Chain A
């Protein structure tokens, strides 16, 4: 405590402090300090606990609520977007399927039409062919008949030329048909 004594005298001398003790240990100031501390700390406690802290708590709670509601809103919007995307993809798939269906049915219809037309055409063609064949056969028969006549005439002419006398037309014809039928 020797050093304390020393400082005490110094303070007493230079600070002009009446009691001359180390100021923090000067009991004469304790009462005043305690009184003021009680007033100020009491006021501080009341101001903080009644106004300051509830207000900050309210601010933080409001901010948290705003945060949470914003996050919830964002989640809701995202879910909405995902729903929209899903329904869009569903619609797309449906449209795809529908288009496929339309294409298929159109293709089928056209194929059927083509087949029917081809069949009709074939039938027509066959009918025409038959008709042509008949005509050809008729013409051929006619031609063959003409051939017989020509042959008979040629035979008459040849025999007349060879023998000098003309066979009867009936004989010639009989001979030609005999040869041609052989």
Chain B
């Protein structure tokens, strides 16, 4: 950007949302472009890759099958067979978050999931689904979710309050966990990467220190790869756990 800021570490700039071009009446920002990329990648793996419908799968079809079975097992394990009606939702959430996180790990890219509004919207989809389906399937009995059984009447109001707070905090924790992980990881990577550039540009004896932050960047990249997958998995499994509450509200 500006010439005077050359060499300075600006770990926040990677999160800036800027318009890239206009598509009809819509402004395509970098965030929107990366969302489109997510859709393209997911479609490529799950629809183009599985098009051969081969009995013995190729690489891309194997990838699609592995993703399917992984999420299907997660849903079955956490929400039971009834939870499979939400399998497309959980799968879409998992793929969206996973691909967003993985694309964001490529240097100079933008991470869609590093914006709280996106992760919060995803969490809101989950919680709204839980609430709507919970009332649709169980009626007012769904409120039994907040009433632990076998508790003395004296403690009950307190426990109900705790349960309600815990329920309300779910969308917040779900969205903030993903957002904060992505944000912190990218800032850290950027800072250590910036150290390498700064040390190299310093032109003094400090140049010899530059491999240290570079090694750190490499190690952090590996860690962030793990985090990218893990956060997508955590998001999916927590979605399953919350949906399980809507399906079986009994405590």
Contact = CB atoms under 8 A, between A and B. Distances in A.
Contacts of B39: 40, 43-44, 47
Contacts of A49: 88, 92
A15 interface: yes
Contact of B43 (A24, A38, A47): A47
Given A60-B65, A63-B55, A45 B35 contact: no
A10 B68 contact: no
Nearest to B56: A63
B12 A53 contact: no
Given A14-B1, A44-B38, A48-B92, A37 B121 contact: yes
A89 B89 CA distance: 61
A14 B13 CA distance: 8
Given A15-B16, A49-B88, A44 B53 contact: no
A30 interface: yes
Given A52-B64, A59-B61, A23 B118 contact: no
A29 B39 CA distance: 20
Interface residues of B, number: 51
Interface string A41-59: 1011101110111011111
Contact of B16 (A11, A34, A37, A52): A11
Contact of B53 (A13, A24, A29, A62): A62
Given A14-B2, A37-B35, A56 B65 contact: yes
B12 A15 contact: yes
A69 B96 CA distance: 37
Determine which residue in B68, B91, B92 has the highest number of CB atoms from chain A within 10 A of its CB, and name it. Answer: B92
Contact of B50 (A25, A55, A63): A55
A16 B96 contact: no
B156 interface: no
B115 A55 contact: no
A44 B125 CA distance: 14
Determine which residue in A15, A57, A66 has the highest number of CB atoms from chain B within 10 A of its CB, and name it. Answer: A15
B110 to A, nearest CB: 10
B46 interface: yes
Contacts of A40: 32, 35-36, 38-39, 96
A165 interface: no
B74 interface: no
B5 interface: yes
Given A52-B47, A56-B46, A59-B65, A33 B57 contact: no
Contact of A36 (B1, B15, B29): B29
A126 interface: no
A24 B55 CA distance: 45
Nearest to B15: A23
B209 interface: no
B55 A36 contact: no
A36 B35 contact: yes
A34 B12 CA distance: 21
A98 interface: no
B95 interface: yes
B61 to A, nearest CB: 7
Contacts of B114: 24
Nearest to B54: A59
Interface of A: 7, 10-11, 13-17, 22-26, 29-30, 32-41, 43-45, 47-49, 51-53, 55-60, 62-63, 66
10 contacts: A11-B13, A14-B5, A26-B17, A32-B31, A32-B32, A41-B92, A43-B39, A44-B38, A47-B43, A56-B64
